[in-house]
């Protein structure tokens, strides 16, 4: 993508992240007070309504000097902090999507090919660019939504050592919609008669993006299904994420042609929904056992639902990496607090923030 449009997307991400961060402050506050979400924003101290120009994310905090205009009471630092965190997370999401960071499965080019099929469009260069861009927007909105809900969970757990069910359910619903939509678009390719040529065009397009070259791909599609996976492993070792997508797409077709039980399991694991559900449920069971046997002393039911969401979102491989990193981070942080004399062995820490930090780091593992 041209550098100007990339810059535009990153800039818009920063601004939108600020606005959503500001909205999350309201959601968190009103969930704490068990209020509904209608009506204007007001100062939590003097209860007076806040005029629109005093309600601009970050900027208003700065020009009001961090104080309410009406009563002069200090505005808590967590408000601008959440806005800035939202801004940075939205930028990070854009960076990940623009660099194929969501393509751990078939997602991007499977979605692109599926959209072409759905709208009955031929894979011309123009259409490929157009539908690839639509797929990118879809991924961007998805990752922004996941990051926004995660930020709300992070802040709430940090403040109250509690994760509201409504937050986790919202996160799970967002992932469910995206997983099912992208898998459906993928299936549309695999189960349709003309999928081979369509998928080839899209693969070619994907390949050209990584300078893999058409020769590679045509040779790749010419070989027998038996050697598919060997070739796939080799291609994976020498090429970037976009090529992975092509390789996995071809491998998927291979799985479908030869439907022995082992291949069907592999096939399920290649889909976002299948992989996510399996690892989400396994993680939730393990965490439930920990909560049950430790009698909620160092983890709660909120964490059980949270790890289901993380597994459902990240899928098998990254899901496990994310949880592993969460335990590492928790241990390092806990030891650091004890060494610095800020905590004792029995000081309780909320585990949700570590789980979410692990999830974020796992997204950067390819
Ligand atoms: Zn006030």
pLDDT in tens, 198-257: 555 555 555 444 333 333 333 444 434 334 444 444 444 444 444 444 445 554 444 444
Q: In angstroms, what is the span from residue 44 Cα to ligand 1's centroid?
A: 7
pLDDT over threshold 60, residue 105? no
Per the prediction, the chain carries an average pLDDT of 80
Least confidently predicted of 53-67, 102-116, 153-167, 342-356: 102-116
Distance 69 CA to ligand 1 centre (A): 7
Tell me how far the alpha carbon of residue 148 lies from the centroid of ligand 1, in angstroms: 27
Percent of the chain with pLDDT over 90: 46
More confident residue, 167 or 1: 167
Amino acid 143: pLDDT? 96
Ligand 1 centroid, distance to 31 Cα (angstroms) = 20
- Structure confidence by residue, pLDDT tens digits, 157-177: 999 999 999 999 999 999 999
Mean pLDDT of 92-114: 74
Within 10 A of 300 (CB to CB), how many other CB atoms are there? 19
Alpha carbon of 98 to ligand 1 centroid (Å): 42
CA distance 161 to 143: 25
Lowest model confidence (mean pLDDT) among 84-93, 183-192, 217-226, 302-311: 217-226
Rounded Cα–Cα distance for residues 60 and 351 (Å): 33
């Amino acid at each position: 993508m041209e550098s100007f449009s990339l810059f535009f997307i990153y800039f818009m991400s920063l601004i939108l992240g600020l606005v959503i961060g500001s909205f999350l402050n309201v959601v968190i506050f009103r969930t704490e007070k068990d209020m509904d979400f209608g009506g204007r924003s007001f100062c939590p101290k003097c209860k007076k309504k806040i005029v629109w120009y005093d309600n601009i994310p970050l900027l208003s905090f700065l020009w009001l000097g961090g104080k309410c205009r009406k009563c002069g009471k200090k505005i808590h630092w967590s408000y601008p902090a959440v806005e800035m965190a939202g801004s940075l997370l939205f930028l990070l999401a854009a960076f990940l999507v623009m660099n194929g960071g969501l393509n751990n499965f078939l997602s991007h080019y499977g979605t692109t090919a599926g959209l072409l099929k759905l709208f009955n469009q031929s894979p011309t260069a123009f259409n490929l660019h157009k539908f690839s861009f639509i797929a990118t927007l879809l991924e961007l909105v998805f990752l922004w939504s996941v990051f926004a809900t995660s930020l709300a969970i992070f802040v709430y757990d940090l403040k109250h050592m509690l994760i509201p069910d409504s937050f986790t359910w919202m996160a799970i619903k967002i992932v469910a919609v995206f997983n099912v939509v992208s898998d459906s678009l993928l299936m549309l390719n695999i189960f349709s008669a003309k999928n081979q040529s369509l998928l080839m065009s899209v693969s070619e397009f994907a390949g050209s993006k990584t300078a893999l070259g058409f020769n590679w791909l045509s040779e790749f599609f010419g070989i027998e299904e038996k050697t598919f996976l060997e070739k796939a492993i080799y291609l994976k070792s020498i090429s970037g994420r976009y090529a992975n997508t092509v390789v996995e797409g071809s491998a998927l077709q291979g799985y479908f042609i030869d439907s022995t039980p082992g291949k069907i399991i592999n096939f399920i694991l290649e889909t976002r929904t299948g992989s996510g559900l399996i690892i989400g449920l396994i993680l939730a069971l393990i965490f439930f056992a920990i909560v049950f046997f430790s009698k909620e002393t160092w983890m709660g039911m909120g964490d059980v639902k949270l790890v289901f969401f993380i597994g459902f979102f990240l899928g098998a491989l990254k899901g496990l990496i994310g949880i592993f990193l969460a335990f590492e981070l928790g241990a390092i942080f806990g030891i650091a607090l004890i060494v610095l004399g800020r905590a004792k062995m029995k000081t309780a820490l909320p585990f949700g923030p570590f789980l979410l930090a692990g999830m974020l780091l796992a997204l950067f593992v390819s």
